[in-house]
Amino acid sequence: MVAPEGLERANGNLWSAEMVANSFVGPPLGSLLIAAAFALPFFFDAASFALSALLLFVIAGSFTVDRDRAELDGKVDWWGEIKAGVLWLWRNPLLRVMAIVLGLLNASSMMVFATFVLFAQEVLDVNALLFAVLGAAGALGGVLGGLLSPRISARIGSGPSLTVTFIVSIVMSLVVGLTSNWVVAFAGFAAFTFAATLWNVVTVSFRQTIIPDDLLGRVNSVYRFFAWGMMPIGLALGGLLVSATESISGSRELALRMPWFVTAAGMFVLFLYAAPRLTTAAIESARAARIAAKKSSVVSPGSSEEPELSTEY
């Protein structure tokens, strides 16, 4: 639906709209509905899905993709589909690095959230209201990130934009881990979410550009399986880290701060790995090659030669 050159702006607007609706509109609206009638939010939720389905029907245009495979009997080769997605992702050097880095970044980030409630209560000394305010900080950073990320990427380039996400995340992890002031933590959470949104706008737009249309769903599913699949591992490691630190040091406060320090260290190592690989030159070269291939139709989207295209980047 969006031309390659407009993807970053479209994704940024999309993330901002989702963040506003999910974090600023949804919760208070839900509170009002539940105050009126306990079951009302569930009916409202169902109606929202019906409206969403209706809106999908009014989108004009055809977005089907030609597939070079026989489906006359209605059967799908699930293992073959998965294999195609895995192989295409693995053979693309940039997407492979992005998937590995994102998975490990998510694992590192989740380490701090395993015991975040305890950290907020015992270290930041916040009550229920201030804890909700801290949650709003992440939403605020996400909205600003969605609006400003396309401009940042256009001004400094894709590679430096990803570098910014690392630097901000590393610094803010250290700041939050060291502070006992909830206001400082609020700023840290907002900056952290801003950086995460910047990463998403740049990398998701890049994926949408270079992955062949008929493989987009399969490659994205493999990419997200690794990225999201590392989150529960990070949560488990975070809990174990706090428990082990408290047992060894005898300090509850140090134990609750430790995940932030380990997260910062892990992100720094990932930055050293990613920085020389995820450069503006590499990203824009891959993007230009794919756009040129689509326009010239030298290689059709459904041909078996598509995966080989990525190995030349």
Give pLDDT tens digits for 71-120.
545 677 788 888 888 999 999 989 999 999 999 999 998 999 899 999 99
% of the chain surpassing 70 pLDDT: 91
**Cα dihedral across residues 144, 149, 151, 155: positive or negative:** positive
Is residue 70 very low, low, confident or very high in pLDDT (cuts 50, 70, 90)? very low
Which residues are CB-neighbours of 253 under 8 A, at least 6 positions away? 122, 123
Identify the residue with better confidence: 124 or 7: 124
Q: Any idea where the domains of the chain sit in the sequence?
A: 9-18+77-310
Mean of pLDDT values over 202-231: 89
Identify the residue with better confidence: 66 or 270: 270
Q: Helix (H) and strand (E) counts for the chain? A: 13, 0
Q: What is the mean pLDDT of the chain?
A: 86
Secondary structure letter of residue 124 according to DSSP: S
**Cα dihedral across residues 75, 79, 83, 86: positive or negative:** positive
- CATH number belonging to domain 9-18+77-310: 1.20.1250.20
Distance set, CA 4 to CA 104, 183, 201, 282 (Å): 28, 39, 13, 17
Which residues are CB-neighbours of 120 under 8 A, at least 6 positions away? 126, 131, 134, 182, 185
pLDDT at 195 over 60: yes
pLDDT at 310 over 60: no
pLDDT digits (tens, 9 = 90+) for 9-68: 888 888 888 877 887 778 778 878 888 888 898 999 999 999 999 998 888 877 776 655
Region of 125 please: left (phi>0), alpha (psi -120 to 50) or beta: left
Mean of pLDDT values over 271-286: 92
User: What distance, in Å, lies between the first and last C-alpha atoms of the chain?
Assistant: 25
pLDDT at 309 over 90: no
* pTM, two decimal places: 0.80
% of the chain surpassing 90 pLDDT: 50
Mean of pLDDT values over 264-288: 92
Mean of pLDDT values over 212-227: 88
Distance set, CA 285 to CA 199, 247, 280, 307 (Å): 19, 51, 8, 16
Identify the residue with better confidence: 102 or 290: 102
DSSP readout, 246-306?
Answer: HHHH--HHHHHHHHHHHHHHHHHHHHHHHTTTS-HHHHHHHHHHHHHHHHHTSS-TTSTTH
The residue among 261, 69, 103, 233 whose CA lies nearest residue 176 is 261
